[in-house]
């Protein structure tokens, strides 16, 4: 009977919701509250961004590299011509360098997809960009007409001469038979200082481009980018995977990956990347399978730490 009466009261408006309000009444300006709220939140966000936000560092470019460390730029360009840079010997997906991949036994995941982003460092980083100039230097034609043996001899000799020069300064390299290599690297240095090398490597043949692969690889082959990373605590042995530019911690969820790179045998292993990925994958799989593993799934019951966290709840029980 009471159930039917409550339904009737609700439908006819005679219930609690239908009774007149006898309490105090005041004006309420929703628009004013919304405006104040938006302004207050905006001010707090801007203040927090100014105090805690990451620094707005200038972009790292080929121009800044060539201007700041020209000797390192020339040495790296020489290595690109000679095919001795890290990118030139990286293997898939950039090239098919023998024995360059990271493997675990017979498992070679790096080669599984093949060479998907083919890069010829001599042509893509040096000769090709110089060929885009309105008046390409004559050294480009000399290089293109030379044999592979001649190119290797020139770059090896010039690379050794750069290493022996004071401060690795190209201007102080001893005289020798280096073919067109000094002219090629000198022209590329001038092109980079003008800022045109950045646009050529990043254009990808189209006006709109978001592919910075070649620029980043070229930068990574030199010491300039690594020195910047070290100064900002972003290198591997500084737990750089966890840090932001100028701040830390950053991506804290990557701590497990970064942790393994700090300990042996991963720290000195030539195939550390694939080893770390597999170890983390196995640990993740174990975490997913915890409810199905006898003994492991019983640990919360055997070690009742949760009872300490929820002690008030268990007291009431």
Question: Phi and psi dihedrals of 119, rounded to 5?
Answer: -135, 120
pLDDT digits over 150-191, tens only? 999 999 999 999 999 999 999 999 999 999 999 999 999 999
- Mean pLDDT, the chain, as a whole number? 88
Q: Could you give the percent of the chain with pLDDT greater than 70?
A: 92
pTM recorded for the entire structure? 0.76
pLDDT digits over 35-82, tens only? 988 999 999 999 988 887 777 778 899 999 999 999 999 999 999 999
pLDDT digits over 208-252, tens only? 777 889 999 999 999 999 999 998 888 888 888 888 776 666 778
Residue 204 gets the label, from left (phi > 0), alpha (psi -120 to 50) or beta, of: left
Q: How far apart are the first and last CA of the chain?
A: 36
CB-based contacts of 236, cutoff 8 Å, min separation 6: 258, 261
Distance of CA 74 to the CA centre of its chain: 25
State whether residue 115 is helix, strand or coil: coil
Q: Under a CB-based contact definition with an 8 Å cutoff, are residues 134 and 299 in contact? A: no
CB-based contacts of 110, cutoff 8 Å, min separation 6: 91, 92, 101, 102, 103, 274
Question: Phi and psi dihedrals of 239, rounded to 5?
Answer: 60, 35
**Which residues of 160-253 form beta strands (DSSP E)?**
none
CB-based contacts of 104, cutoff 8 Å, min separation 6: 271, 274, 275, 278
What's residue 10's pLDDT?
A: 46
């Amino acid at each position: 009977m009471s159930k039917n009466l409550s339904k009737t009261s609700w439908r006819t408006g005679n219930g609690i919701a239908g009774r007149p309000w006898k309490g105090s009444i005041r004006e309420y300006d929703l628009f004013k509250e919304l405006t104040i709220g938006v302004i207050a939140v905006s001010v707090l966000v801007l203040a927090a961004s100014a105090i805690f936000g990451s620094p707005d560092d200038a972009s790292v470019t080929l121009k800044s590299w060539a201007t700041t460390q020209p000797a390192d730029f020339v040495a790296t360009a020489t290595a690109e011509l000679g095919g001795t840079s890290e990118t030139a010997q990286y293997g898939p997906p950039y090239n098919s360098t023998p024995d360059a991949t990271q493997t675990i036994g017979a498992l070679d995941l790096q080669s599984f997809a093949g060479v998907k982003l083919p890069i010829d460092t001599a042509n893509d980083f040096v000769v090709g960009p110089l060929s885009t100039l309105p008046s390409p230097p004559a050294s480009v034609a000399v290089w293109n007409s030379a044999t592979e043996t001649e190119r290797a001899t020139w770059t090896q000799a010039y690379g050794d001469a750069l290493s022996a020069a004071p401060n690795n300064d190209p201007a102080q390299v001893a005289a020798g038979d280096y073919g067109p290599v000094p002219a090629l690297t000198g022209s590329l240095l001038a092109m980079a200082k003008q800022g045109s090398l950045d646009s050529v490597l990043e254009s990808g043949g189209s006006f709109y481009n978001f592919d910075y692969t070649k620029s980043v690889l070229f930068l990574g082959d030199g010491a300039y980018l690594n020195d910047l990373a070290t100064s900002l605590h972003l290198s591997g042995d500084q737990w750089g995977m966890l840090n932001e530019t100028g701040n830390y911690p950053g991506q804290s969820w990557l701590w497990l990956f970064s942790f393994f790179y700090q300990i042996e045998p991963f720290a000195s292993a030539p195939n550390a990347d694939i080893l770390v990925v597999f170890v983390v994958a196995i640990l993740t799989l174990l975490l997913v399978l915890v409810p199905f593993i006898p003994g492991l799934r019983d640990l919360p019951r055997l070690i009742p730490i949760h009872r300490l966290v929820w002690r008030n709840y268990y007291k009431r029980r």
